[in-house]
């Protein structure tokens, strides 16, 4: 057992210790102990299931087909359940802790979503059933489509893409098909500002387009650099400009209308990365500020548990002239009111996903939007923005904020970025700060993106004022600790079930359990 008490936080914010946190979870409370692997727990002969007696003549497996028996752990059912339950409790999760992971929108996932998504009428439907037998499922898809179109201020949605990145890829394919139909095959370049998410240039590459970076020194797209690049590359080679707005610096780009004009003057299209829609729901619509196509990350904005890489949904919405190129099938409502899947789209780019998309995630999205209602969605964005600005304002004296400056009218959108230079100059690393936050039962914010040495904090609208204050207290206590005893941070986390992981060692010399 490791000693639990060392380096108590010092200074003014001393009132809270890591263990007072409202969100402090089992894994930060528990003593640090060795959790045997499931192989170590194995006892020969133990079984979790019983099979009926063999009542036929046994036959040996032919020698040429027989593989050596795999070395599998042998345990009873209760042992297996306890093993995995313990493991799950050692994870960070939104249900257990504050999770201010910038750009990822780790908001609370209302349980009504799960209720809807597990209704047997939906879970029992088969994608190959006749349209007439799955009217309820198709209706959910159709209504989701219509709501997403309205929130976007754009013409037609496709629900097929399985994640935001997949939506980017699909929309770029649609845009390229549109230009090809006009004979403009030379439009192969896609611009994106320097603070773009890594998936933006990656999606370009997947589509065979060339990604070009536009400067964004103050957090906003540099319009002169944008014009210069368009001139230099030739306006008629530009396919699209991909922008996230509000962007990853946590700023809403008020010049977006001008950006749209510059792009449209070049004959190119404006693509909105909708990952940050949580800040603008019902306040402004991408279609109204000039976007021609966009994706949603419904698992972010419209709440689906999405830690660990899935599942998600990345529906896209486009302007009318792009609609003929959307993937098939499209869910439609016929004149008689019935819902159907329409494959009759001769210009479609085809399918981008088996069947119709991530229906279970779309169903959660439908439920969330319907539960909030139009006013509720606006309220979501107002609270998300208020929470981020509250945190930024309370922390800015100790944690420098390159883009947040209320005196210049630069407020945060739903997230903010800090580059804590003064603290880092005391000899600690950004990692030290992040790891110490774990001791307070808080998931570290996004790191080193969109700029080096930054933390990107997104509280979301679902956190209580008490939790926000606890976060501020923790951040201030860490700042005090750095001022008084910077070396002590190198040992963080000290109250978690695992020590600081040797990332390089884990990468270079992995020790897989299943060996020998």
Least distance in Å: CB of 217 to ligand PLP?
19
Nearer to ligand PLP by C-beta: 9 or 164? 164
Nearer to ligand PLP by C-beta: 286 or 312? 312
- Per-position x/- string for 93-132, each x denoting binding to ligand PLP as judged by CB under 6 A, each - no binding: ----------x-----------------------------
Least distance in Å: CB of 240 to ligand PLP?
15
**Cα dihedral: 280, 283, 289, 291 (round 10):** 50
Applying the rule CB under 6 A, the residues between 254 and 273 that interact with ligand PLP are 273
- Sequence-distant (6+) residues with CB within 8 A of 164 are 199, 273, 274, 275, 295, 296, 297, 300, 312, 314
Rounded distance between C-alpha atoms, residue 314 and residue 304, angstroms:
12
In this structure, how many other beta carbons lie within 10 angstroms of the beta carbon of residue 231?
A: 10
Applying the rule CB under 6 A, the residues between 216 and 255 that interact with ligand PLP are 244, 248
Applying the rule CB under 6 A, the residues between 486 and 515 that interact with ligand PLP are none
Find how far residue 404's CA is from the centre of its chain: 23
User: What DSSP assignment string belongs to 38-78?
Assistant: TTTT--TT--SS-PPPP-S---PPPTTTPPPPP------HH
| Binding of ligand PLP by 137 (CB under 6 A) | no
Candidate residues 109, 144, 170, 199; the one interacting with ligand PLP per rule CB under 6 A: 199
Size of the site for ligand PLP (CB under 6 A): 13
Nearer to ligand PLP by C-beta: 196 or 468? 196
Nearer to ligand PLP by C-beta: 314 or 493? 314
- Sequence-distant (6+) residues with CB within 8 A of 236 are 184, 186, 187, 266, 267
Rounded distance between C-alpha atoms, residue 452 and residue 420, angstroms:
11
Nearer to ligand PLP by C-beta: 154 or 163? 163
CA neighbours within 13 Å on the CB side: how many for 204? 23
Least distance in Å: CB of 244 to ligand PLP?
5
Least distance in Å: CB of 394 to ligand PLP?
24
Candidates 380, 382, 383, 376; CA nearest to 468 is: 383
Rounded distance between C-alpha atoms, residue 115 and residue 376, angstroms:
20
- Per-position x/- string for 52-91, each x denoting binding to ligand PLP as judged by CB under 6 A, each - no binding: ----------------------------------------
Nearer to ligand PLP by C-beta: 275 or 438? 275
Strand order in the sheet with 210-214: 156-158, 316-318, 293-296, 269-274, 238-244, 189-193, 210-214
Structure tokens that stand for 445 in this block: 């914010």
Structure letter (DSSP) for residue 278: G
Least distance in Å: CB of 193 to ligand PLP?
11
* Residue number with the smallest Cβ distance to ligand PLP: 164
Nearer to ligand PLP by C-beta: 100 or 312? 312
Applying the rule CB under 6 A, the residues between 274 and 313 that interact with ligand PLP are 275, 297, 312
Least distance in Å: CB of 12 to ligand PLP?
35
Least distance in Å: CB of 295 to ligand PLP?
8
Nearer to ligand PLP by C-beta: 44 or 309? 309
User: What DSSP assignment string belongs to 181-211?
Assistant: HTT-TT--EEEEETT--THHHHHHHHTTPEE
Query: Is-contact 218 262, C-beta < 8 A?
Result: no
Least distance in Å: CB of 309 to ligand PLP?
8
Applying the rule CB under 6 A, the residues between 151 and 190 that interact with ligand PLP are 163-165
Q: How far is CA 291 from CA 228, 244, 283, 496, in A?
A: 21, 11, 15, 45
Rounded distance between C-alpha atoms, residue 435 and residue 481, angstroms:
13
Nearer to ligand PLP by C-beta: 21 or 244? 244
**β-pairing, 269-274 with 293-296?**
parallel
Nearer to ligand PLP by C-beta: 9 or 314? 314
Applying the rule CB under 6 A, the residues between 342 and 361 that interact with ligand PLP are none
Output the CA angle 439-10-417, nearest 5 degrees. Answer: 60
Binding site for ligand PLP (CB under 6 A): 103, 163-165, 197, 199, 244, 248, 273, 275, 297, 312, 314
């Amino acid at each position: 057992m490791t000693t639990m008490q060392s380096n108590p936080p010092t200074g003014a914010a001393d009132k809270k210790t890591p263990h007072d946190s409202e969100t402090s979870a089992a894994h930060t409370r528990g003593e640090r102990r060795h959790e045997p692997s499931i192989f170590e727990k194995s006892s020969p002969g133990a079984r979790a299931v019983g099979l009926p007696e063999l009542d036929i003549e046994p036959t040996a497996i032919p020698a040429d087909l027989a593989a050596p028996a795999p070395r599998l752990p042998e345990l009873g059912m209760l042992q297996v359940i306890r093993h995995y339950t313990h493991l799950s409790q050692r994870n960070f999760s939104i249900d257990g802790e504050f999770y201010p992971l910038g750009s990822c929108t780790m908001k609370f996932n209302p349980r009504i979503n799960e209720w809807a998504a597990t209704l047997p009428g939906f879970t029992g439907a088969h994608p190959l059933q006749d349209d007439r037998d799955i009217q309820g499922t198709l209706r959910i898809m159709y209504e989701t489509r219509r709501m997403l179109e309205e929130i976007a201020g754009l013409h037609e949605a496709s629900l097929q893409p399985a994640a935001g990145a997949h939506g980017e890829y699909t929309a770029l394919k649609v845009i390229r098909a549109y230009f090809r139909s006009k004979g403009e095959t030379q439009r192969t370049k896609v611009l994106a500002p320097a603070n773009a998410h890594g998936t933006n240039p990656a999606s370009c590459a997947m589509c065979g387009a060339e990604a070009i970076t536009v400067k964004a020194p103050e957090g906003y797209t540099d319009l002169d650099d944008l014009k210069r690049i368009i001139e230099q590359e030739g306006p008629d080679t530009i396919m699209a400009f991909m922008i996230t707005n509000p962007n990853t610096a946590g700023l809403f780009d008020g010049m977006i209308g001008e950006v749209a004009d510059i792009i449209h003057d070049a004959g190119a299209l404006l693509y909105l990365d909708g990952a940050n829609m949580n800040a603008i729901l019902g306040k402004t619509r991408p279609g109204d500020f000039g976007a021609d196509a966009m994706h949603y990350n419904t698992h972010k904005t419209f709440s689906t548990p999405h830690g660990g890489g899935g599942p998600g949904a990345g529906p896209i919405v486009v302007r009318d002239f792009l609609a003929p190129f959307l993937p098939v099938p499209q869910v439609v409502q016929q004149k008689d009111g019935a819902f159907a899947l329409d494959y009759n789209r001769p210009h479609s780019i085809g399918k981008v996903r088996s069947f119709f998309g991530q229906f279970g995630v779309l169903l959660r999205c439908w439920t969330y939007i319907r539960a909030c209602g139009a006013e509720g969605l606006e309220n979501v964005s107002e609270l998300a923005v208020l929470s981020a600005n509250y945190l930024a304002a309370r922390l800015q004296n100790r944690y420098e904020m390159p883009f947040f400056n209320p005196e210049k009218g630069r407020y945060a959108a739903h997230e903010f970025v800090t580059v804590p230079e003064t603290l880092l100059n005391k000899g600690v690393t950004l990692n030290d700060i992040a790891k110490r936050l774990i001791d307070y039962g808080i998931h570290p914010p996004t790191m080193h993106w969109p700029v080096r040495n930054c933390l990107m904090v997104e509280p979301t609208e679902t956190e209580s004022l008490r939790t926000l204050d606890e976060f501020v207290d923790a951040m201030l206590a860490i700042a005090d600790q750095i001022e008084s005893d910077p070396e002590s941070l190198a040992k963080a986390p000290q109250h978690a079930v695992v020590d600081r992981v040797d990332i390089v060692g884990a990468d270079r010399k992995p020790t897989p359990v299943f060996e020998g």
